[in-house]
């Protein structure tokens, strides 16, 4: 098992669902090596997409609905200092990465083909592909991606053990 696979597994193991299912918490205060913030951010984005975000979308034909049913909280220990800031910044950038989206776009297609309800991917390019298939208005692409990103952020918290908000809301990667 590679280091990246171990990291993904550690993050998956940190995932806990509240009893009323209104909150999913990723407690990264133990068991996750934050020495490489970029790798942690990519692994966290992957797990977040696979385990949570894809459940927030339903599709019917060319129509995709975004309907999050719970919040996601990522908890990090403040004593990691600068690495926490880098991890949070990298994670938010990864949520917008175009190269992450194709895999989840395929998951959406596969799930739509194999199930009556689509419960798949959170990828902004999926929304873009469905929307822009019938339109060449590229100028709306960034708006839609940014709007979806903000909708996702409404359901995402990144906090310390002391409940301090670790997202830099003034410098989001928009």
Q: pLDDT (tens digit, 9 = 90+) per residue, 54-101?
A: 888 777 776 777 888 999 998 887 665 556 667 777 777 776 665 455
Choice between 49 and 21, residue whose per-residue pLDDT is larger? 21
- Tell me the sheet residues that pair with 64: 59
Domain count, the chain: 1
CA–CA dist 32, 8 (Å, integer):
9
Domain range for 99 is 3-161
Q: Are 65 and 55 in contact (CB under 8 A)?
A: no
In a domain, 78, yes or no: yes
In a domain, 174, yes or no: no
Token pair of 138, please? 């590229």
In a domain, 166, yes or no: no
In a domain, 172, yes or no: no
Specify the pLDDT at position 80.
57
Specify the pLDDT at position 148.
66
In a domain, 38, yes or no: yes
In a domain, 170, yes or no: no
Q: Is the pTM of this model over 0.85?
A: no
In a domain, 69, yes or no: yes
In a domain, 173, yes or no: no
């Amino acid at each position: 098992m590679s280091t990246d696979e171990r990291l993904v597994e550690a993050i998956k193991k940190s995932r806990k669902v509240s009893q009323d299912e209104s909150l999913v918490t990723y407690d990264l205060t133990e068991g996750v090596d934050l020495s490489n913030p970029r790798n942690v951010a990519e692994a966290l984005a992957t797990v977040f997409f696979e385990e949570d975000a894809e459940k927030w979308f339903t599709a019917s034909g060319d129509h995709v609905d975004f309907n999050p049913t719970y919040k996601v909280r990522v908890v990090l220990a403040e004593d990691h200092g600068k690495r926490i800031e880098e991890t949070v910044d990298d994670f938010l950038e990864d949520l917008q990465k175009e190269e992450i989206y194709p895999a989840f776009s395929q998951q959406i297609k596969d799930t739509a083909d194999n199930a009556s309800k689509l419960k798949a991917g959170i990828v902004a390019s999926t929304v873009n592909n469905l929307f822009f298939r019938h339109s060449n208005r590229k100028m709306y692409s960034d708006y839609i991606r940014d709007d979806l990103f903000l909708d996702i952020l409404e359901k995402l918290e990144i906090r310390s053990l002391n409940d301090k908000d670790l997202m830099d809301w003034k410098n989001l990667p928009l």
